[in-house]
Amino acid sequence: MLPVQTGRIPIGENVPARPLLIDGAFEPGSAEPFVILDPATGAPIDSVAAASPDQVDTAVNAAVRAQHLWWGASQPERSAALHAVAAEILQRKQELADLVTRETGRPFSRNLLYVDMIADLFRQYAELARVHGGRIVPSNESGQLSLVVRAPYGVVATLVPWNYPLLLLAFKVAPALATGNTTVIKPASETTLTTLLLAEVFAAATPPGVVNVLAGSGRTVGEQLVGHPHTDLVAFTGSTEVGTHIGATCGRMAKPAHLELGGKDPAIVFDDVDADLAAKAVVWASFLNAGQVCTSTERVYVHRRVHDQFVDRTVQLASQLRVGDPFESQTQIGPMRNQRGRAKVLEQLAAAQAGGAKVLTGGAIPEGSAGFYLEPTVVIDVDHGMELMKEETFGPVLPIMVFDDDDEAFALAADTPYGLGASCYTHTPDRVRRAYEEMSVGTVWVNDPVVDNLAAPFGGMRASGNARELGLEGMEAFTAMRHVHWNMRMEDKPWWYGENSG
């Protein structure tokens, strides 16, 4: 087993190089190294040498060779490998949770839960692939068999973001492997160490070349994988800006792109619910992972009759959240991942305040803090002329806007190019119906926000992408439908051309 460095250790001469996984072997990157910072301190954790263009080619070619053997194996063999991956993940649970905490800044207690979830995903798709491979459809004539089978695309370029580096990797890699694809994974630069640690698990449980893990930037390694002639599908989670660029590249190559992109999820709080309880739910949905979740509640619309009570309770809850070291058991909110993201949030807040918005709590960097911390923030007197209400924030900010009737609420919630998710707090069935019929989003949560059900599809619409992950749909997304028309008797057909045909 390769050594894994944990703890906040600065870069030094004695720190071993972090190897990449290429064709079943671990080797150091050949390109320029990059530094990974601890978001809780701002200090370096480690550095990783990026993959060179030649190493990217080697990894893709290894995946091509391995794919034929992997798809040629029996489904029980592939499923057994996925169960082995899950077992090894659980065996190394503490180690994985520790490293992902250091790289993301998310509280350690949450990361322990997420490690369990990724093991669940590998087990789920190991079994789902055993029982779902296609269907038989009625034939045109007797003596014929019409099969609709699901076939793998081939080599999947998997591009994973930094906010949930293990979980969002599993969303893609588990169903891709279960259905006979191989993959080349490029993690985000900020969370490369966690993914290279997971590479040890893949190396122990899958044949060489089935899973390859590279390090590097999106502009170098990522671009090469997206445009590589031998990657057959690109699976990406990240910003809408980058995703549309990837989609355009894939479009020119007639290559499918599986895109899960940004969001600006609304929450609507109606006047028929407990405003205090709704405030508690919204605070959770807005500040989970310091607001760095694509499905974070980023704008809240509250009925005028309960607005003041909701705001008061929200401010009380947000101001009491414990911000601190992600390894401390009492910490609820850790740091943001990087300085760039925090600067963007502060710019949005400053612009909103210049336009008349009021910050009721938070909005500042905690005094004396190192790293990339930002206080949980509640804002009122906002409107849709502000960037804070239009563009993805991806930080610990909860802006609240008042509405007077249902039509206004749904119109405000729909006023966005994004379509990832929406939350609705009500006990009125007609309002729920309007939410799931009228809102162009992939998920509607009613009275229980930001919940992943591993058995149900997740994904967005419009500027939030085209992907569906999780559930049966998440497995089908990594396969192409193929129709097999089998006439069991070779016999002449009256419409075939022959001697007497006109």
Q: Extract the tokens encoding 70.
A: 């992997």
What amino acid is encoded at 267 in this protein? A
Beta partners for residue 400, in sequence order: 300
- Cα 372 from chain centroid? 22
Q: Is the dihedral of CA 257, 258, 262, 268 positive or negative?
A: positive
Tell me, yes or no, if 250 is annotated catalytic. Answer: no
Tell me, yes or no, if 294 is annotated catalytic. Answer: yes
Spot the catalytic one: 294, 375, 424, 469: 294
Nearest alpha carbon to residue 187 among 200, 204, 199, 205:
199
Distance CA 251, CA 227 (A): 10
**Residue whose entry in the numeric block shows the structure tokens 């549309």:** 244
Q: Extract the tokens encoding 65.
A: 């060779």
**Backbone phi, psi, residue 81, to 5°:** -65, -40
Distance CA 244, CA 261 (A): 9
DSSP three-state, residue 380: strand
Distance CA 290, CA 377 (A): 10
Spot the catalytic one: 88, 190, 260, 469: 260
Burial class of 3 by CB neighbour count within 10 A (0 to 12, 13 to 18, 19+): exposed
Q: Extract the tokens encoding 63.
A: 């995946």
Mind telling me the catalytic residues? 260, 294
